[in-house]
Copies of this chain bind each other. A is one copy, B any other.
Amino acid sequence: MDKINLTLLTDFYELTMANGYLENGLGDKIAYFDMFFRKVPDNGGFAIMTGVEQLIQYFKNLSFDERDIEYLRSKGVFSEKFLEYLQNFEFRCDVWAIPEGTPIFPNEPVVTVRGPVIEAQFVETMILLTINHQSLIATKANRIVRAAQGRAVMEFGSRRAHGYDGAIYGARAAYIGGCVGTACTIAEREFNIPAIGTMAHSWVQLFPSELDAFRAYARVYPDNCVLLVDTYNVLKSGIPNAIKVFNEEIVPKGFRPQGIRIDSGDITYLSREARKALDEAGFEDCKVVASNSLDEYIIRDILLQGAEVDQFGVGERLITSKSEPVFGGVYKLVAIEENGRIVPRIKLSENVAKITNPGFKQVWRFFDKDTGKAMADVLTMHDEIIDESKPYELFDPEHTWKRKTVRNFKAKRLLKKIFDKGSCVYKCPELSEVKHYCQQQIETLWDAVVRFENPHKYFVDLSEPLWEMKQELLQQHSAK
C-alpha cells in the first residue's frame, strides 16, 4: 500500500478556524486544550489509556507537503498568507499525556496541549481519533479478559475491523488490554504481539475427508497441532477423528497434541463433551479452544454454566467493541494566555455534567500506602503541589458536604510531559512493559470499581483552588 501523508486527516473546520485565527491576528495566541471523556463504555468502572505511541508519531510527522498546499489552495477559501504559514509549519506545542496502560476515569484530562492556538486546535481530530479508538479497544479487551478468569484470550477480529488500521492498532490495543496474542500477522511484525492461528474450515473441506485433512495438518505441524473440529459434526466426527490423528501422528513422534477448536454450536455442551472424550483418550493436557461471536457476556455465561474451555478466540465483538463502539473523548479549550498570564475558559451547558473543568491542570492519583490501592484522583491547578506528609481533604465537587480526609497516602502525577515546544521528551516503553503496567495498575483498583455490573464510581475530585476557580467562572457567566 502506498505511503500517504496523514497531516490532512483533520476535520475541515480545524483549517477554517486556523486561517481565521491567522487573519484575526491570533495565530500566536497561546491556548490550552484538554482531551477527556465523559462515560466509560459498557457502563464499566474505568477505561484504559491507549494510543500515546501513535499520537507521538503523528506529532513528529506533522507537516504539509506540496500536494496538501495545492489541494488547500484549490478550495479557494484560504489566504496565501495562511498557505505560506502551513508550508513553514513546525509543531511547537507542549503536550502532556497519561501513559498508555493507565486506568482512566471520566472528566479528567488524559491529554493536555499548550501552544499557539492554530496548532493546538489543529491536532484535535487526530488526538481524538487515535486515543478514542485504541482506548475503546483496550478497555473492551480487558473486560473480555477479565470475564475469561485467567484463561487465555486471543484477538481474532481483523476481518471485521473498520479498516486496516482498525485491525492493526486494534490488535495492539487488545494486547495492552490483556489478550495474549492476535490472528493479525502484521501486528507481530510491527509490534511483537504473538501471532497465532492454525486452520480454517476450508482446510478441512479441501481434502477428501476430515480425517485426511487432520492427518495432513498433523504431519506438517506435529509439535503445534490444534485441529478445528466443527466442520461436519463436533462429537460424531471432529473429536473422534482428532483423537485418532493425535494417536497416529503426534504421540508416536514424541509430541503432545496442543488443542482442538470449536467454532460453532453450543460451546458449553460441546466443550464439556470434548473435554471428556479427550481425557478418556489420555489427552488431559490437550486444550479446548472456543471461538464464534464471543464477548465478555457470553464468556461469563458459558463459564458459569460449566463450559470446559481453556482458551478463547474473540473476533468481531472485540475488534469493533460491538456492544458500544464509540469512545466519546472530546477536546475542549480550557485556558488561554493573556500577557503571559493563564486565563481559564469554561464551556457551559444546560446539562451540568457537560460543563468543562477549566484551567491548566494536573491529575493526581492517591494510593493508600498500606494496601497500595487507588483511593481517588484529584484534578489540581497544574503547578499545585500535594504534600504527602500532611492529611489531605477530598471532597465531592458537586456535593461539597461529602468530605473525607486521607492520610498515609502516596500521590502520583498522571499527566507526563511528552512534547516540549514541539520536541518529543518522552520515551515510549516497550509494548510488553505497557501490557504489564496496565495489568499492575488495574490491580490497584478496588474490586468494586472493576466489576462489570454497577461498578462503584471511582472518585475524580477537584482540589480546593481548582474548585474555587471553577465556581468563580460559573458565577461570572451567570452574572452576564
Contacts and interface: CB of A to CB of B under 8 A. Distances in A.
Interface centre among A1, A67, A196, A203 (most CB of B within 10 A): A1
A196 B328 CA distance: 22
Interface string A2-17: 1111101111111111
Contacts of A68: 189
Contacts of A328: 160, 316
A91 to B, nearest CB: 14
Interface centre among A163, A186, A329, A333 (most CB of B within 10 A): A163
A320 B326 contact: yes
Given A17-B199, A190-B4, A220 B24 contact: yes
Nearest to A321: B325
B202 A333 contact: yes
Nearest to A57: B1
Given A16-B199, A196-B12, A164 B129 contact: yes
A316 to B, nearest CB: 5
Interface string A206-247: 100000000011011100100000011000000000000000
A232 B348 contact: yes
Nearest to A168: B9
Contacts of A321: 325
Contacts of A349: 264
Interface string A28-55: 0101010000000000000000000000
A353 interface: no
A220 to B, nearest CB: 5
A345 interface: yes
Contact of A316 (B137, B183, B326): B326
A16 B163 contact: no
Nearest to A117: B206
A243 to B, nearest CB: 19
A303 to B, nearest CB: 23
Contacts of A189: 8, 67-68, 71
B322 A326 contact: yes
Contacts of A2: 3
A52 B164 CA distance: 15
A201 interface: yes
Interface stretch (A120-128, A385-393, A443-451): A120-128
A117 B17 CA distance: 53
Nearest to A234: B350
Contacts of A348: 231-232
Contacts of A354: 264
Contacts of A306: none
Contacts of A206: 21, 26, 29, 31, 117, 333, 336, 345
Contacts of A24: 216, 219-220
A474 to B, nearest CB: 13
B164 A11 contact: no
Contact of A164 (B6, B16, B183, B224): B6
Interchain residue pairs A-B with the least CB separation, the first 8: A163-B165, A13-B197, A12-B197, A128-B159, A162-B162, A202-B333, A3-B3, A8-B186
Interface of A: 1-6, 8-17, 19-21, 23-24, 26, 29, 31, 33, 57-58, 61, 67-68, 71, 75, 77, 117, 121, 124-125, 128-129, 132-133, 136-137, 156, 158-170, 183-186, 188-190, 195-203, 205-206, 216-217, 219-221, 224, 231-232, 264-265, 316-317, 320-322, 325-329, 331-333, 336, 345, 347-351, 354, 477
Given A8-B189, A264-B351, A325-B325, 16 more contacts: A1-B57, A4-B186, A8-B185, A9-B186, A12-B183, A14-B200, A20-B203, A29-B206, A31-B206, A121-B200, A129-B163, A161-B162, A163-B168, A165-B165, A232-B348, A322-B326
